[in-house]
Amino acid sequence: MNEMFQQVEPMIPALRRYARALMKERDAADDLVQDCLERVITHWDDRRSSGDTRSWVFAILHNLAMSALRKNTTAGIRQVAIEDVAESLSTRATQEDGLIYQDLLDAVDTIPPEQRSVLLLVSLEDMSYAEVAKTLDIPVGTVMSRLSRARDRLVRLLGGARQHAGPAATLRRVK
């Protein structure tokens, strides 16, 4: 039990970030993390001891999120703010930086969920392609393809913003 706490507790902030980015509502994200941690505790002895605990925990969270989002899609699409994630990650930006940042958040919100998941796991959670593939249970090539399409879409969406904002709005290649 002590081993579980040592491995899982440091992941909780990352789980909350990822859940908030997916669910786009603070309360729904916190409920999702709670459900995830409950499943982790319940099924701790069922996991593969040779496997990567981080990927296993993120896979549980991702699967719970996709199930919840599917349920909510039938009830109507929720408009969410990725800004909730940003509040805990950064300090107040200058006005121009804030506008650029808002453009980026709006662009990320328009990306299809399967591409957004890959983009967030690679760039926000700093997972390798192999870890993302294992977490989402998809081939590494699919991870690369979805990430490429997500980045291309962001470049297209932010193209106009970059012309006005200068070099600060360029995208950085993470992996």
Tens digits of residue pLDDT in 157-173? 888 544 444 444 455 56
- The one-letter code for the residue type at 155 is V
Domains and CATH numbers, the chain: 1-83 (1.10.1740), 90-175 (1.10.10.10)
pLDDT-derived band at 150, boundaries 50, 70, 90? very high
pLDDT of 141 over the 90 cut: yes
DSSP string computed for 19-37: HHHHH-SHHHHHHHHHHHH
Say what percent of the chain tops pLDDT 90. Answer: 27
Q: CB burial class (10 A; 0-12, 13-18, 19+) of residue 66?
A: middle
Question: What is the overall mean pLDDT for the chain?
Answer: 79
Secondary-structure breakdown of the chain: helix, strand, coil percentages, each rounded to the nearest 5: 80, 0, 20
Tell me the pLDDT tens digit for each residue of 50-101: 778 888 999 999 989 888 888 765 544 444 455 555 555 555 557 777 777 7
d(CA 38, CA 114): 25
Nearest to 79 by CA among 57, 110, 33: 110
